[in-house]
Chains A and B, each alone.
Chain A
Amino acid sequence: MPSIQCFGRCLPERVVTNAELAATIGRDAEWILQASGIEERRVAGADQTVVDLAVAAARDCLERTSVSSVGFVIVASGTSPRRFPGPAAEVAHALGFAGIPALDLPYASTGGLFGMALAAELAPVHGPVLIVAAEKMFQPASTAPAEVAMLFGDGAGACLITPDHTGLRVLDAALHSDGSNAANLSMDLTGPVSMHGLAVIRHAGRRLPEVIQELLTKHAVAPGAVTAYLTHQANQNLIDRVARALNVPSGLFYSNIHRYGNTSSASILIAASEWGETTKLQAGDTICFAAFGAGFHWGGLLARQA
């Protein structure tokens, strides 16, 4: 049973507040806050690449463990600047992991979660698996309609999963995809993000509680017995809606969207990284990860502290 050993993150220094963004998208700062729960987001410099963000998050993750080498690297990004190659091989090279397989996941919001689920399958064969998710979403979203442009920020997160039976053990994952909704949330190589927001809200509001309940029912865990929910940070109103659907307090859902906005694939790992720094898990504590996004893809992952 593979285990999650640690997380890491990298957030660009530049902060763009709602007040600053409001002037460019024709809405006021309070409207952005009410519609999304976002107060500010981070924005990378023009010379700071997806690879740069990914490498910094990976180093932050690896500094938190005694594991010095990995057997597989997965890099999720929906904002890779090239059709090919994706950033995975470059990230592995920059980290000094030459020669090991490096896999790109060209996903958006679910990239971090799908990467974790894949890593849990790969770790028993390849040894420690490093998952990194890195995005520069702010710029390509900036020319989209205000309801979309207000949401996104830049950042990267990372996670190390090992074959060990210690730490936060991965119990199970449930992953789903439905390509009939591909056009409802998409972006070509140069942007802008194209989003049918109402369709995304409708499907995310249904699929996230469903997949969480699917996992919890399978493992006989009541929604209220989960220690913490760590989910893709899409919109605070969506997080609150999922909590209501599961009949649990919103406080069980860790949230940092007010500070970083929606960082797409990176958000779940950035959230887990911050959450992990302030949390001391007890044996038996159960953590539920979940994400929904472009594809549509959605899924959940259940982990329990050894």
Chain B
Amino acid sequence: MTRQEKIAEIVKRVSKKPAPPDPEESLFDSGYLDSFALTDMVTELEQEFGLTIPDADLSPRRFESIARIEQYVDSHAD
């Protein structure tokens, strides 16, 4: 499973939606994430990719889409 596919699975799980969104789709406009689901997703990203995501990085814009999340993980994962 690619990194993007793992992220899509996490988004699908925390949003409780039957299918993952398109990589460029806004997770907030499409109803996949709200403030509470975002913090759940961040916890899962930390566990899956061995990251520590600081509070200062918690912003909807940074996690707007699967593509944006992948960029974040790529630049912070070992």
Contact = CB atoms under 8 A, between A and B. Distances in A.
Chain A binding site: helix, strand, loop or mixed by DSSP?
A: helix
B36 A201 contact: yes
Given A202-B39, A202-B42, A205-B39, A196 B58 contact: yes
A299 B60 CA distance: 29
B35 interface: yes
Given A181-B55, A184-B55, A198 B34 contact: no
Interface of A: 35, 147, 181, 184, 196-199, 201-202, 205, 237-238, 241
Interface in B3-26: none
B52 interface: no
Contacts of A202: 39, 42-43, 55, 58
Nearest to A34: B34
B59 interface: yes
Contact of A35 (B34, B55, B58, B60): B34
B35 A197 contact: yes
Contacts of A201: 35-36, 39
Contacts of B55: 181, 184, 196, 198-199, 202
A200 to B, nearest CB: 9
Contacts of B69: none
B73 interface: no
